[in-house]
């Protein structure tokens, strides 16, 4: 079996992880896993957050559920957090970044309002996820990618496809 890398796409909700991840999976043949969807399918929850009106992820069960697949390799993981995963899982981590005004509009279009909208935009302003990634992984594997325009999306796709091809050459 050819060795294939595991890629983490992370960042504040609305920055474009799903859009990038699905297209990337098509172009590279890697498997795309959306942690939100995985949790919903398996009901991998541990309670309910009244403030944000959403279920709370059971992080241990999510990790157990995915571990075998991650050891095999070739997985693109999409989640708006990154310190719940074992460090050993990922060969590279991309933190997508979007300008505040644009992110605000995207989340409003998604139906977010009030505190949920404000907190998410603030999360981006304070670069919370980037700092979380820098703490959880070796700095040299963490990369920020601008995700403001279709041109950014194309550029990011090209870069990651190229990186993936090079990784496979180097490891097979």
Is 127 a binding residue for ligand DAT by CB under 6 A? The answer is no
For the CB of residue 108, give the shortest distance to ligand DAT in the complex, in Å. 11
**How long a stretch of residues is the chain?**
172
For residues 144 and 130, give the distance between their C-alpha atoms in angstroms, rounded to a whole number. 8
Is 8 a binding residue for ligand DAT by CB under 6 A? The answer is no
Q: Are 103 and 14 in contact (CB under 8 A)?
A: yes
Write the DSSP symbol of residue 87: G
Is 150 a binding residue for ligand DAT by CB under 6 A? The answer is yes
For residues 5 and 163, give the distance between their C-alpha atoms in angstroms, rounded to a whole number. 10
- The angle formed by the CA atoms of residues 95, 82 and 67, to the nearest 5 degrees, is 125
Is 111 a binding residue for ligand DAT by CB under 6 A? The answer is no
Write each residue from 53 to 92 as x if it is in contact with ligand DAT (CB under 6 A), else as -, in one continuous string: ----------------------------------------
On the 0-12 / 13-18 / 19+ scale of CB atoms within 10 A, 51 is exposed
Interacting span for ligand DAT (CB under 6 A) from 17-25, 37-45, 117-125, 128-136: 17-25
Is 14 a binding residue for ligand DAT by CB under 6 A? The answer is yes
Residue 42 annotated as lining a ligand binding site: no
Write each residue from 130 to 149 as x if it is in contact with ligand DAT (CB under 6 A), else as -, in one continuous string: -----------------xxx
- Binding site: which residues? 14, 16-19, 110
């Amino acid at each position: 079996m050819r060795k294939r890398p595991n890629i983490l796409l992370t960042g504040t909700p609305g920055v474009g992880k799903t859009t990038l991840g699905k297209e990337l999976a098509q172009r590279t043949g890697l498997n795309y896993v959306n942690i939100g969807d995985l949790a919903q399918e398996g009901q991998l929850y541990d309670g309910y957050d009244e403030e944000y009106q959403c279920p709370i992820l059971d992080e241990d069960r999510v990790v157990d559920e995915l571990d075998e697949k991650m050891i095999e390799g070739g997985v693109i993981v999409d989640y708006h957090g990154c310190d719940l995963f074992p460090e050993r899982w990922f060969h590279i981590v991309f933190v997508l970044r979007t300008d505040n005004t644009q992110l605000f509009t995207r989340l409003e279009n998604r139906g977010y309002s009030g505190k949920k909208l404000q907190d998410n935009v603030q999360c981006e302003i304070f670069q919370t996820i980037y700092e979380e990634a820098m703490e959880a992984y070796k700095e040299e594997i963490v990369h920020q990618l601008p995700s403001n325009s279709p041109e950014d999306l194309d550029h990011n796709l090209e870069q990651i496809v190229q990186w993936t091809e090079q990784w496979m050459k180097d490891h097979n």
